[in-house]
Amino acid sequence: MNTITPPRRIVVTGHPKLLDSLEESAAISAYIKTKGLEAPPFGSLYDEKIRKRVHAGEFDLLIAVGGDGTMLRAGHLCAPHNIPILGVNRGRLGFLYQVEEGGWQSMIDRLLAGDFWVENRMMLNAEHLRAGEKLGSWSALNDAVVSRGALLRPIHVKASVDEQYLTTYVADGLIASTATGSTAYALASGGPILPPELRNILVIPIAPHLSVDRAVVLSEGSTVSMTVLTENAVLSVDGQIPVGLAEEDRVDVRAGEDTVKFIRFGDQGYFYRNLTAHMNVNTTIGLPR
């Protein structure tokens, strides 16, 4: 692996609801200090003082200690500022991680020696439109999902790709996913797993009823439009609080301008090794996001 310029302005963050996450963050900060650097600030990923310093561009690396949900939130925070993220897994699944609990000392040594590479992952931009007016816009690392609301009945969603009609789904919902999200909700809905640095959008129905039941991988640069043809629908971006959708509302999803940068070590086969280790184990119950 080629040696590249190592980061020197580091911040260490943890998830406040994960056991010992903040303690681990403090330990990582103290360890970095033993390597001759100033001890990085550490604290909760949701600490407003830390977040303001990230927005101000004071750091060239954020270390996130937690689960996959923590990495999602770190991605949203860091991507607009091109700040790479090193994740230390204290959760139970860890599709987005390479550094496991208890093994971070050697990885910190490699990081400070410049023995790493940067993996770039596409984000999505999702826009909520009503009668041509934009009501909201969001960035997503995993997915944007149009799904049924509180009523237990399927919804009708018309899907178009680059303004060309694709099909109308009768389903519990429709997922527009990144390659990163292909190991999340899209995977649970029967979708394919995409290599992480692909810049294609994956479209997959949720529990389709007498309609198309196959996932579609769009060409790079394509936009998918999801128009709700019934009531009782919501939009959720990266699993956040859903937004209500009215009949004829449209959600446009395309590649976003921001890219999430993850610090990686060794060869690129890490993704498949990590994937294989988790494929037959569901350990997410009770995991804070």
Active-site residue list? 68
Cβ atoms of 84 and 262 within 8 Å: the answer is: yes
Please report which helix (H) or strand (E) contains residue 12, including its range: strand 10-14
3-class SS at 96?
Answer: coil
- Residue 232 CB coordination number (10 Å): 17
C-alpha distance from residue 111 to each of 79, 118, 263 (Å) = 20, 11, 8
3-class SS at 105?
Answer: helix
Q: Is 44 exposed, middle or buried (CB count within 10 Å of its CB: 0-12, 13-18, 19+)?
A: middle
Residue whose token pair is 């041509």: 132
